[in-house]
Amino acid sequence: MAKTACKILGVVLILVGIVGFFAHNLLGLHLTLVHNIIHLLSGAIALYFGFVGTSEAAHTFSRIIGVIYLLVGIVGFITPGVIEKIFQTQATTESLNLIPDNIVHLLVGALFLIVGFLREPQPAAPKESKVS
């Protein structure tokens, strides 16, 4: 499940990273050069673990990147100025409304964390037959 999630979320992150170069305010999100590069890098790493990595490596990556995205979303709500500086968004008059960005980061982080902690069902051990 983690490998599949890494493949799907990796593709989504890469697409958002590419589209962000052309549509800087896609769906109310603030996609800057730095933001797009972060999406491209995290998407590429997710694809690596989805296609090449082991299942355990995909689980570990999902937990790590899930925590990172979750923290970015939380920090964005608590101190939006920090996130504005990291993503190099320029507020013209007042602080930008980063709520859509924060919500997306929380959702992506939660998805990665969920699949990172889910375990694939293990096949049942074969039952031993009694021979009389």
Render each residue's pLDDT in the chain as its tens digit; 132 residues.
Answer: 889 999 999 999 999 999 988 887 778 777 888 889 999 999 999 999 999 999 999 999 999 999 999 999 998 888 877 777 776 665 543 556 778 888 999 999 999 999 999 877 666 666 666 665
CA distance 113 to 39: 17
Whole-angstrom CA distances from 84 to 50, 87, 98, 100, 108 are 30, 5, 8, 13, 19
| Sequence spans of domains, the chain | 2-117
pLDDT of residue 129: 60
pLDDT of residue 13: 95
pLDDT of residue 30: 78
Output the pTM of the full model. Answer: 0.80
- Residue 125's SS3 state is coil
pLDDT of residue 97: 72
pLDDT of residue 93: 37
The closest of 38, 49, 50 to 14, measured between CA atoms, is 38
pLDDT of residue 77: 87
pLDDT of residue 92: 41
